[in-house]
């Protein structure tokens, strides 16, 4: 099992460790609810060094990415980030990802940890069509980069103490290379997977420990805490953010998943599955990913049936939890047409009981 540069720190802190995407990762430290509320109210630090990072460079980089991703790469300018996905050629999704533009000839792709190998193979498969040479123009840097996500309303205040750069007013979905905590060429980005604000910091593996120590020293008076995969999942679900393997996968299209906003059909963009996805956009789909809130007390989980008032199956839960903020069960799932309108009553079958819920458009917490 792989380790991140922070694995020994997690273990020394008493984190409950689990196998995830081939890595030994912290699930929780002080408890999922405590870590969740710390991120919502103060600041928490997530080790996300297991994520995959690919660099794409060269004169054909933009055309290549315009073809293999769903969003419009040409809408990006230097220093900006775009959320996108890889259509799989069969109407589904290889993975969702972030695209960082350094210049028209240099990009960074950040992909999901569990899909790094699959994504790499997919990128290599299409590289030759654009003269992209793996190992030269397409480089897998995943094993060389440490990444921490500092999330919460106090996150940027803490990070600002570690750099002379003005970071507190950085726009969402932008990035800069800068000196952070004495570490040269660190990359700071403002995306996030919690909806609580904050940033991510990428450094070389050998600089990881220095970054961790500096963050926790600077954040001590702000109540900063480490947070694990458990809180990361409940936080993203309160915002209605998709998780690959749950809410999206090789069998779900971005149109069905409500990701039409990252699927662009501009005249200059010819991309994988364009015609199929354009047909779905124009003609509609038979199922859609929708959020819901429990009315009856119960916790929805992945694969639970969603039924109507007569007990007929009308969908399936893809993600669910008890919201630490709302103290209610929340979730997402694919629903048949006719059940998409907010406040529509549905039922979640939990332990052979059909418990009432209502359709709700995320975010669940604002």
Q: Measured in Å, how far apart are the chain's first and last C-alpha atoms?
A: 38
Distance CA 125, CA 357 (A): 44
- Pairwise CA distance, residues 350 & 296, whole Å: 11
Contacts of 243 by beta carbon, 8 Å cutoff, 6+ apart: 233, 236, 237, 319
Return phi, psi of residue 337, to 5°.
-55, 140
**What is residue 256's DSSP assignment?**
T
Any idea which residue has 């980030």 for tokens? 81
- 363: alpha, beta or left? (left if phi > 0; alpha if psi -120 to 50): beta
Radius of gyration of the chain (CA): 21
Q: What is the dihedral of CA 164, 166, 170, 173, to 10 degrees?
A: -20
pLDDT at residue 255 in the model = 98
Identify the pLDDT of residue 37: 98
pLDDT at position 97, please? Answer: 98
Contacts of residue 52, defined as CB under 8 A and 6 or more positions apart, other chains included, come to: 109, 110, 111, 112, 113, 115, 116, 119, 120, 140, 142
Whole-number pLDDT of residue 180: 98
From residue 143, how far is each of 3, 112, 204 by CA, in Å? 10, 13, 10
- Cα–Cα distances in Å, from 321 out to 32, 33, 317? 12, 11, 11
- Residue listed under structure tokens 């418990």: 355
Report the side by side order of strands in the sheet with 138-140. Answer: 80-87, 93-103, 106-111, 52-57, 138-140
- Using CA atoms, how far apart are residues 90 and 40, in angstroms rounded to an integer? 38
The rounded distance, in Å, linking the Cα atoms of 191 and 202 is 13
Query: Cα–Cα distance between 361 and 352 in angstroms, integer?
Result: 26
Q: What is the DSSP letter of 276?
A: H
Predicted confidence at residue 219, as pLDDT, reads: 98
Q: Identify the pLDDT of residue 234.
A: 98
Q: What is the per-residue pLDDT for 207? A: 98
Q: Which CATH superfamily is domain 286-360 in?
A: Aminomethyltransferase beta-barrel domains (2.40.30.110)
What span, in angstroms and rounded, lies between the C-alpha atoms of 342 and 42?
A: 31
pLDDT of residue 45: 98
pLDDT of residue 3: 97
Q: Which residues contact 156 (CB under 8 A, 6 or more apart)?
A: 167, 168, 170, 197, 198, 199
CA 101 to chain centre: 18
| Residue 115, CA distances (Å) to 123, 225, 243 in order | 12, 28, 12
Q: What are the 10-residue block averages of pLDDT along the chain, 366 residues in total?
A: 97 97 97 98 98 98 98 98 98 98 98 98 97 98 98 98 96 98 97 97 98 98 98 98 98 98 96 98 98 98 98 98 98 98 98 97 96
Q: Contact 161/75 with Cβ under 8 angstroms? A: no
Q: Are 68 and 120 in contact, with CB atoms under 8 Å apart? A: no
Whole-model pTM: value is 0.97
Per DSSP, the three-state class of 203 is: strand
């Amino acid at each position: 099992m792989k380790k991140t540069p922070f694995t020994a720190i997690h273990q020394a802190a008493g984190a409950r460790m689990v196998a995830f995407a081939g890595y030994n990762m912290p699930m929780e430290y002080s408890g999922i609810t405590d870590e969740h509320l710390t991120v919502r109210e103060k600041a928490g630090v997530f080790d996300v060094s297991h994520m995959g990072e690919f660099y794409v460079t060269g004169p054909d980089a933009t055309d290549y990415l315009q073809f293999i991703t769903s969003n419009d790469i040409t809408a990006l300018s230097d220093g900006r980030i775009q959320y996108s996905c890889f259509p799989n050629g069969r109407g589904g999704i290889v993975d969702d990802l972030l695209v960082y533009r350094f210049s028209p000839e240099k990009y960074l792709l950040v992909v999901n940890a569990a899909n790094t190998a699959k994504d790499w193979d997919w990128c290599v498969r299409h590289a030759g069509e654009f003269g992209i040479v793996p190992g030269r123009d397409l480089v897998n840097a995943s094993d060389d980069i440490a990444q921490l996500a500092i999330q919460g309303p106090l996150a940027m205040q803490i990070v600002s103490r570690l750099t002379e750069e003005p970071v507190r007013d950085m726009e969402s979905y932008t990035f800069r290379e800068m000196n952070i905590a004495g570490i040269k060429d660190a990359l700071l980005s403002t995306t996030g997977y919690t909806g609580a604000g904050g940033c991510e910091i990428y450094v070389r593996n050998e600089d990881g420990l220095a970054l961790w120590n500096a963050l926790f020293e600077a954040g001590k008076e702000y109540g900063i805490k480490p947070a694990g995969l458990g809180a990361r999942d409940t936080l993203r679900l309160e915002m209605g953010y998709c998780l690959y393997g749950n809410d999206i996968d090789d069998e779900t299209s971005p149109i069905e998943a409500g990701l039409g906003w990252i699927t662009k059909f501009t005249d200059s963009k010819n991309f994988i599955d364009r015609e199929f996805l354009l047909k779905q956009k124009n003609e509609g789909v038979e199922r859609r990913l929708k959020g819901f809130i429990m009315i009856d007390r119960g916790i929805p989980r992945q694969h639970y049936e969603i039924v109507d008032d007569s007990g007929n199956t009308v969908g399936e839960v893809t993600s669910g939890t008890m919201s630490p903020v709302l103290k209610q069960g929340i979730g997402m799932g694919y629903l048949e047409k006719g059940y998409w309108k907010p406040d529509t009553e549905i039922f979640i079958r939990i332990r052979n009981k059909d418990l009432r819920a209502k359709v709700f458009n995320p975010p669940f917490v604002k």
